[in-house]
Structure 1
Amino acid sequence: MSSVYNTKEKVHNRALEVVGKTLGEIDVKSTMNVKNKSYPGNVIEQIWYDHPADNHAEPDFPEAGVELKVTPLDKQTKKGKKKKVTELIAGERLVLNKINYKNEYGKSFEQSSFWHKNKMIELIQYYRRDVSHKKKISSGEMIEDKTKFQVLYANLLSMTEFEGFHLPKDTIIEIPEKDLEIIKQDWNKIAEYINSGKAEQLSEGLTYYLGACTKSATGDDFTKQKHTDVYAKPRAYSFKSKFINELINSHIIGQEHTEAISSIVKDVSELEKKTLEEIIVSRFTPYYGMKQSELIETLGIKVGESQQKNINNMIIRGILNLPTSANEVTSEEIEKAEISLKTITLEMGQPREHFKFMGIPSFLELVKESWEKSKVYDFFERKKFLLLVFNNLGKKKKNSGSDNTNPEDIIFVGAKFWNMPVSDIDGPVKEVWKTELEKLKNGVELKFIDNKKIIIKNNFINPSLENILCLRPDASLAQYKSKYYKDVIEKGIPKRKLMNNSVKLPHPAKWINRPDNEKENYSDDYITKQAWWLSKEYIYEQIKDLL
């Protein structure tokens, strides 16, 4: 059926007319199911554009060559240096078309379904929520009225050059050439897995701007590949949420953007010879094997007493030629690709500690999760790390609680990108996650040991090379009862201090050898706050090739 919106101008001008309207004002007859997750998109597509829902390989408006996407924006407030900064952020990744592994097999970028369907997108964004209310909404404490979601922006997002259109220029976002080169590299990486019959090993963490996100109702859905009997999870192409963030910020906010973000790649021609990953790693290679003291001198870094703890970050910023005044290492590419930088300090070539990656604010909420919808699965499925390894060769002084910080003893070993393989996510990580949740649901075992000093042992799995995921304490002081006030003396002044190092258990603990007179301090219902960690043995396996 031919649409009246058969040119780019008609599609885009219709989009501009919806800006400022709420979904309820568009769906005045309440014809769409407000409980449906796709309600916002259905209202815009089926009512505003009078376009039937479909799942065709063609763009939504084939004559115009434009795909329609409707996505949420959320409000986020962060603490700045001097004041709180409130900004709009993409509420989720921008999910594009589903990947048909068989049809996509053997195609070039220009022949791909991704390029055919998405090279020009009408991006309509509505205001959804203040993320400070997200917990209340997810718990059901606060019910959102989707009919009050208001359309804020309509932009034509283009990955291809177009001329001669009479459209408002300030509502056209042309994806920069540099970004397009990185998108092509990401597509090639995804295609490499599809063409080699290894789509089951795909994850979002493999790529930078363009991802292959999971797209199925349950974790039991699998789909066929070409030339192999191995089934893979259904996936869709998607732009990472922070990639969309940066495009919107630089385009809509422009010069008023709160912080100018520097780039690592200054010249787009560099991307024609190397991947983004190769370029970033190449920035570090000239400095491999250098002492911290040599790096400080070579990079011209001035280190004050207050900056001693932040010295490795200052070195990394110096190597990447990023502003030294910032508190963290960030760049346009790091932001858009959602890269997480992790500095690993070895002692005599061995990791000294396990790697904490996620705190657990509530066990009550944790035990309600399913694996495919869990925070742990989502984290490793999506996360790309840049690991920066230093080796401390100095001997720790006996009876000293402080680490050796002599810059003559600390060597920069190297840098590498890493994301967790799907075989590890769906293998040992999933196994430990499920096992520990069962213990929490049925009652974790706690053993009371009184040998001059009281020690409490639990039956959570000990970290190892095989058990790479583990639950470990996330508080400096142990606590097995609800938060309470404790009388302390600080700097000679009596003070009441809030002790809040515990979290409520979803099921009473099973105590062993707990004295009756200790039941108040070591209760059935609370345990010291915990976090998810990766074992140091596993981390060592990921970086040992740098040594």
Structure 2
Amino acid sequence: MSFLVDELPYDSQDPEDIYVYAKKLEGSKFRDACSWVISEGSTGYGGNKGHLGQYLEKNYFLYELNSDKDPDFKEAGVELKVTPLKKLKNGHLVSKERIVLNIINYMEVVKEDWINSSFLHKNSLLLLIFYLFESDKDRLDYLIKFVTLWKYYNVDLEIIRRDWERIVAKIRDGRAHELSEGDSLYLGACTKGMTSASSLRDQPHSTIRAKQRAFCLKQKYVNYIISSTIADEIPPKGILNTLDVEPFIKDVSELKGARSFEEIVLDRLSIYSGQTVDEIHELVGDDLNNDAKGYYASLAARMLGLKKSKIEEFEKGNVDVKIIRLNQNATPKESMSFPYFKYKEIVEEKWDNSTLLNTIDKKFFFVVYQEDEFGILRFKKGMFWTIPYDDLKEVERVWKETVSRIISGSAADLPRISDSEVCHVRPHARNKEDTCETPDGQQLIKKSFWLNAKYLKEQVANYN
């Protein structure tokens, strides 16, 4: 690690002193914070205004930029990450994006184990600097809201270890090209760099080249960090309302055996298999309102032994809970919908950063009920589900066909359920007056993508 001055305004070997120095940034704009350091006579270097992290590295922390495998503050074992916030209409602060960590070297990571991994070496202790993104301002005028020195809690670190091992196992199997955000809970493997052939990388045990990826903390997990950091505020401004959330895993010892988090969840639910909704309600949910919109999701939380309505690990891992009701023939009552899209916005997207990909390429938790011969709804099973790679490619095809038709003026005729075995597009509106404008000026009813009921039937039936 190379510094720009002989005497630093902080102890580069002491994580706490680095943190105390970084905390001085809170409430400052990037321009003012670095001007303060420059005024002390440290350096006159202007910095890279296009990358705020590099700007602080050079102008505030006074070290040379590097892309080492070591943490940014090597002697202290601290990695610096500068990351944006956005403010919602209700005033809550949320992460604007995931936190990208180190690039995954497919050929090298398969030689590592967790304890000696390059990931753990570089990212065990994170100095996180959060700033408020405002599109109408110059980057150097963004306000630095708060700073935290983040060390993973024991349970989180154990889940992240399992995530890392799951990602690396897929790479070892020659399936790096199939990596998905749905493979893991907190630690993701996100695409990094351009989507062109120049971003493709060799992988072991396969001739298929895979997109370059990096380890990352998922956006919902970053929201958890934000909430934890500002929890002392009254009222709290973080997106996770801790009054509504309860952890399923109470102690890290529960994860030390061979069973994964997912297996523990499914084992807990299995004792209710075959019971009617009324029977389960009487056992664990007698204080729940069975007419409430989120009743079945809340009942699932009670089945897991939780008193609160939201499962902390699901919130932090962006696990989407879906209730599936099967008829007597084991077919879902309806296809599964996703939020409606705006015609003029979807045509501006690329698949790799599309709203649909971000919505569907993640882990789902299906709570499955089935009608018996008398039409009574009984709990069948719980299942964690991630869309298979080949099926995701089919969703991509349907998405691209949808965009193509909208651009060509055929937004009224989008892919139907007969056009794909996986998904289709159909209306998703309150009524026929619930419309939005197309690029060619038509006012058409709102529509969304749906996973076909028949496809869901196969996925539920084939789940082991």
1:472 aligns with 2:455: no
In structure 2, the gaps of 5 or more residues are 36-43
**Once the 2 structures are TM-superposed, how far is the Cα of residue 288 of structure 1 from its aligned partner?**
0.9
Call closer, same or farther: CA 1:281–1:109 in 2, change over 3 Å: same
Classify 1:368/1:250 alpha carbon distance in 2 versus 1 (closer, same or farther; 3 Å).
closer
2:159 counterpart of 1:147: no
Q: 1:364 to 1:309 in 2, by over 3 A?
A: closer
- How far off is 1:19 after superposition? 2.1
Q: Distance in 1 between matches of 2:336 and 2:141?
A: 42
Q: Distance in 2 between matches of 1:46 and 1:266?
A: 42
The equivalent position to 2:395 in structure 1, one of 429, 434, 448, is 429
Within a 5 Å distance, the mapping from 1:383-422 to structure 2 comes to: 383-393=362-372, 409-422=376-389
Partner of 2:81: 69
Q: 1:416 to 1:465 in 2, by over 3 A?
A: farther
- Report which of the two structures shows the higher radius of gyration computed on alpha carbons: 1
**2:159: which partner in 1?**
182
Which structure carries more strand by proportion? 1
Cα gap change, 1:94/1:308 in structure 2, threshold over 3 Å: closer, same or farther? closer
Higher mean Cα deviation, 119-128 or 258-267?
258-267
**Structure 1, unaligned runs of 5 or more:** 79-85, 130-136, 138-142, 159-174, 396-403, 446-457, 479-498, 509-524
Confirm whether residue 370 of structure 1 aligns to residue 350 of structure 2.
yes
TM-aligned CA deviation for residue 249 of structure 1: 2.0
Distance 1:477 1:98, change over 3 A: same
Compared with structure 1, are the counterparts of its residues 312 and 377 closer, same or farther at alpha carbon in structure 2 (3 Å cutoff)?
Answer: closer
* Amino acid in structure 2 at the alignment position of 1:145: D
CA spacing shift, 1:309–1:375, aligned 2, 3 Å: closer
Q: Does residue 44 of the first structure (1) align with residue 49 of the second (2)?
A: no
1:354 corresponds to: 335
Q: Which residue of 2 aligns with 1:31?
A: 46
Deviations 1:65-95 (A, max 9, x none): 22111111222244xxxxxxx3222222111
Q: Helix, strand or coil for the counterpart of 2:339?
A: strand
Counting only pairs closer than 5 Å after superposition, residues 135-534 of structure 1 correspond to structure 2 as 137=135, 143-158=136-151, 175-220=152-197, 221-254=199-232, 257=236, 258-260=241-243, 261-273=245-257, 274-299=259-284, 301-302=286-287, 307=291, 310-323=294-307, 329-348=309-328, 349-360=330-341, 362-381=342-361, 383-393=362-372, 409-425=376-392, 427-444=393-410, 458-464=412-418, 466-478=420-432, 499=433, 501-507=434-440, 525-534=442-451
2:297 and 2:321 in contact (8 A); partners too: no
Q: Secondary structure at the match of 1:225?
A: coil
* Structure 1 residue 544 displacement after superposition: 1.1
Cα shift at 1:343: 0.1
Tell me the percent identity. Answer: 31
Pair 1:33–1:310, CA change in 2 (3 A): closer
Rounded Cα–Cα distance in structure 2 between residues aligned with 1:507 and 1:30: 50
* 2:75 partner SS: coil
Note the alpha carbon deviations across 1:114-146, whole angstroms, 9 max, x for none.
0111112211111224xxxxxxx5xxxxx3332
Contact 1:96 1:118 in 2 (8 A): yes
- How many angstroms apart in 2 are the aligned matches of 1:505 and 1:394? 46
| Displacement of 1:438 | 1.0
In 1: Cα distance, 2:55 partner to 2:294 partner = 50
Deviation at 1:340, TM superposition (A): 0.6
Q: In 1, are the aligned partners of 2:319 and 2:364 still within 8 Å (CA)?
A: yes
Assess if the C-alpha contact under 8 Å between 1:465 and 1:535 holds in 2: no
Go from structure 1 to structure 2 and tell me whether the alpha carbon gap of 1:312 and 1:63 turns closer, same or farther (over 3 Å shift). Answer: closer
Q: AA paired with 1:222?
A: L
1:109 aligns with 2:129: no
Residue type matched to 2:254 in 1?
E
Partner residue in 2 for 1:538: 455
User: How far does residue 310 in structure 1 lie from its aligned partner after superposition?
Assistant: 4.9
Which letter does structure 2 place at the counterpart of 1:393?
D
Distance 1:414 1:21 in 2: 52
Tell me the secondary structure at the aligned position of residue 291 of structure 2: helix
Matched residue count? 440
Q: How many angstroms apart in 1 are the aligned matches of 2:435 and 2:221? A: 37
Letter in 2 for 1:320: L
Q: Does 1:2 align with 2:7?
A: no
Offset of 1:439 from its aligned partner? 0.9
1:246-279 CA-partner distances (Å, limit 9, x unpaired) = 2332343148555332111123211111211111
The answer to whether the 8 Å contact 1:432/1:467 transfers is: no
TM value normalised by structure 2: 0.88
SS of aligned partner of 2:250: coil
Distance in 1, matches of 2:129 and 2:288, equals: 47
Amino acid at match of 2:242: E
Cα distance change of structure 1 residues 467 and 30 upon mapping to structure 2, 3 Å threshold: farther
For the Cα contact (< 8 Å) 1:26–1:43, is it kept in 2?
A: no
Tell me the C-alpha RMSD between the 2 structures.
2.4
